[in-house]
Structure 1
């Protein structure tokens, strides 16, 4: 037992000395290539085994021949280990350089393509993460391009929509000023109507700017969905009578929600006004509310004939107004964008889909605790 303990101590002393020298070498070479580090690790392993073996061999008083044999075996093992470490290091370095080049191209071109060939699990995982990041950046750039396009369209449409009433106001004001207006009262009523229209457009723009800036003030309170629907129906009833459209709201669950009543009434009002304007006379616009686990879904269904499938993803874009047949006389393409902004500010979601004879807008809101 004592001999075994001595052998273990001699082997530990030799291996510890080799390990200390290897640790010092790794620290000094810490900024060099991974191939150098792998070679040092292999050399430390072989040297530790070699030192321990020699220490034990000398302590056991081996013959010179036996000592030479042991030394030769250890030397051959060291050569093979160092060669394997060098090959592995060069392979890892080559894969790392290929990944570096691909990452550099990612910075220049904006898209990442993983290099061909096998790599270590860590480098493969890094390549997958870079590819996922590239895809997310591409999606972000696509959204940014879509937003820029919608802003340009919005500016063009708003410029046109503002120029037309302003030109009419100027002409009517000049006619009144020159005293050539045959019916001054009619001109004054028209001026008031155009002013109200411009005021509504400016109000929508201001609301949309607050939504995009994330500073929309909300004063949430607990209320019933039934009350929200009732207020929206009351506000839309005159317009429905004017267009000869029937309003139906008899399938409404009295589910509790915690929302800003004014803003959510505006959401439902915008949806009802759009539905009424796009539904032909004698048509029906239905509003309903159903309760699902943790969610209340409010829906507005019209009889507009449906939205083209290609236009469905753009319905809530700022400035989108669809085809000419679906464009309201005073629409600026802001109403549905405001609807989405207000609903998302309440941690909700708004969607649209086609149904037989028309389309349905659905607003999903979390139920009140």
Structure 2
């Protein structure tokens, strides 16, 4: 005879958000129904269950109140529950972002502290070594400064405090300046950076913010493109929109991850060798939205293509 293994009940996964919506909706409905039922019971007790035209009219009025208020209470309960769930998710994302930023800040700070102590204690005294340490400290400080700038920019975007005064901007100036500034970084990593355009359109926007969008996209492409790869920036016109495309050779992003690329704190997977606090693409999306444009990403060729659409002048 074979032995029978005890059957363990399978625990069903409960969605906290759904449970919250159900409980809050039920509570709101009960809060509306109880007074109506109590009113009907009181009227019946006072009337001694003698159904007169006055009692009938009162009961009909109570029923009408119930018919109107119960659906409204259900809708209100669901709306409040959705708002509560959204606030909890936003708070969870904020906590996660703070944890990521804190981790990223500790790394350069620890390096700066260690190198400063080495200089103070005389561990490093040769002029050449001191110059190397000083250069490294300056690089780490620059990295910290960029992170603080990203946080400030993201806070302006999320708080709705970003107010832009739009004027005519030539994309030729924006793209050429970004490519020129990014060329040394690409060369140092062994990545070819090139730009071409069928047209050089003029859009309505602000040059510093548009330069930041293109710079974030180009920096992201260089960071994730392996040595010997190519990053291409293309400018074109499609109907009423100007297009800026940035192609890299990162190897592509899984389809289920693509919708999360522009989320705050997104770092990708180990395949993409995540670096930084994951704010650059989120800032780019916020700035493009402020220009009434669109930004998207798709797998293309040996990597990804980030595309920005901006209304023409």
CA separation of 1:219/1:97 partners in 2, compared to 1, >3 Å: closer, same or farther?
closer
Corresponding position: 1:365 with 2:291? no
Match of 1:202 among 148, 151, 157: 148
Q: Is the counterpart of residue 159 in structure 1 residue 94 in structure 2?
A: no
Aligned twin of 1:176:
119
User: Contact 2:297/2:305 (CA < 8 Å) preserved in 1?
Assistant: yes
TM-score between both structures, scaled by the size of structure 2: 0.73
SS in 1 for 2:246: strand
Query: Out of 61, 69, 72, which is 1:103 matched to?
Result: 72
1:156-180 superposed Cα distances (whole Å, 9 cap, x missing partner): 1110111122122222222211212
Give 4+ residue runs of structure 1 displaced > 6 Å after superposition.
89-93
Specify the SS of the correspondent of 1:362.
Answer: strand
Show the counterpart of 2:191.
245
Give the unaligned 5+ runs of structure 1.
1-82, 112-133
CA change 1:308–1:92 in 2 (3 A) is farther
Matched, 1:349 2:290: no
Q: Give the structure 2 partner of residue 147 of structure 1.
A: 90
Maintained 8 Å contact 1:151/1:318: no
**Matched pairs, number:** 256
Tell me the residue number matched to 1:234. 180
Deviation at 1:201, TM superposition (A): 0.8
In structure 2, how many angstroms separate the alpha carbons of the residues matched to 1:273 and 1:296?
21
Aligned-partner SS, 2:256: helix
Q: Which has the higher contact order (CA 8 A, sep 6+)?
A: 2
Residue aligning to 2:265 = 319
Q: Could you say which structure has the higher helix fraction?
A: 1
Which is greater in Rg? 1
Alignment deviations for residues 197-222 of structure 1 (CA, whole Å, 9 cap, x no partner) = 11111111111112222223534331
- Pair 190,288 (structure 1): closer, same or farther in 2 beyond 3 Å: same
- Residue of structure 1 in register with 2:218 after alignment: 272
Matched position secondary structure for 1:247: strand
Q: TM-score, normalised by structure 1?
A: 0.63
Aligned ranges for residues 129-148 of structure 1 at < 5 Å? 134=79, 138=82, 144-148=87-91
Indicate if the aligned counterparts of 1:236 and 1:273 stay in contact, CA closer than 8 A: yes
Moved more, 259-268 or 212-221: 212-221
CA RMSD of aligned residues (A): 2.7
How far 1:343 sits from its partner (Å)?
A: 1.0
**Distance 1:144-1:253 versus aligned 2 partners, 3 A rule:** farther
Uncovered stretches (5+) of structure 2, i.e. residues with no partner: 1-52
1:309 — aligned with what? 255
1:317 positional shift: 1.4
